[in-house]
Amino acid sequence: MFGMLARPDPLGALTPFGPGMQAVDMVRLHVFHDFSALLDPAALCAFQPDRQAFAVIAEIAVMWLSMVLAMVLPSWACGGALARTWPETNARFRMGICAGLLCLCGAGALVQILAQGLGVLSPQLRITSAPVQAIFLCASVLFFGLRRLERDPGSPATGKGFSGGFRWMIRRLLRCVPMLLLMFPLGLMNVLAMLVMLAVMALSQKSRSRPASARTGSATVT
């Protein structure tokens, strides 16, 4: 959000990008006095002749990093995965964790750039073609099914290096792929959809982190 506000050129309105963005425009207008929120729809993450390609790619990468962190960190806070893992690992393992996070963000940015290049992603960052929407929906269901079959990577032992941290992070982040794929047909800037999926993911992670005795006890009471 602050990256958008720091742009030297007028950004334009974000409301057309999806539910929840109207609140962002209201904050821009009344708090930051950014009257460009009243203008035509913003050209966000769009390749234009008057903009350098590097600036657009950087904008897309920052958007994906923010979106992944917004989904991952709260759910991990509920499950305690990162809190258990970070203190017991070394610096190389932590660098691998960061590298895995950046790789997923880069993959998402590449998919978005490819979709924009093929013309299937609207200026409001939403796939409107029904066949392409079906492809992303099927891919999301497939990844979700594979995720349910995957075993929890657990907490690693101290001393594992960069590759161990990278693999641990990738396995964790693959759980976010179904939701990230759904964001394409729903709208990459659809704040409401992101909050709903974040709540579902956090609840799922919290239920997984419950001790086995607690789950058994609740089942016995039932």
- DSSP letters along 145-170, please? HHHHHSPP---PPTT--HHHHHHHHH
pLDDT of residue 157: 46
Sequential pLDDT tens for the chain (222 residues): 545 554 555 567 777 877 878 887 888 788 877 777 777 776 677 776 667 778 788 888 888 888 888 777 766 665 555 556 565 667 888 888 889 888 988 888 888 888 888 889 888 888 988 999 999 999 988 888 877 666 555 545 444 788 888 888 888 788 788 888 888 998 888 888 888 887 777 676 666 555 544 444 444 444
Query: Which residue(s) pair with 121 in the sheet?
Result: 127
26 SS3 class: helix
Q: At what angle do helices 177-186 and 91-118 cross, to 10 degrees?
A: 30
Query: What burial class does residue 218 get, using C-beta atoms within 10 Å of its C-beta: 0-12 exposed, 13-18 middle, 19+ buried?
Result: exposed
Return the pLDDT at 134.
93
Among 126, 103, 131, which Cα is nearest to 116's? Answer: 126
Q: Give the number of other Cβ atoms within 10 Å of residue 198's Cβ.
A: 18
Residue 188, classed as helix, strand or coil, is: coil
Question: 13: helix, coil or strand?
Answer: strand
State residue 180's pLDDT score: 85
Q: Are residues 156 and 164 in contact, defined by beta-carbon separation less than 8 angstroms?
A: yes
Looking at residue 85, what is its pLDDT? 59
- Nearest alpha-carbon partner for 109 in 45, 168, 167, 53: 45
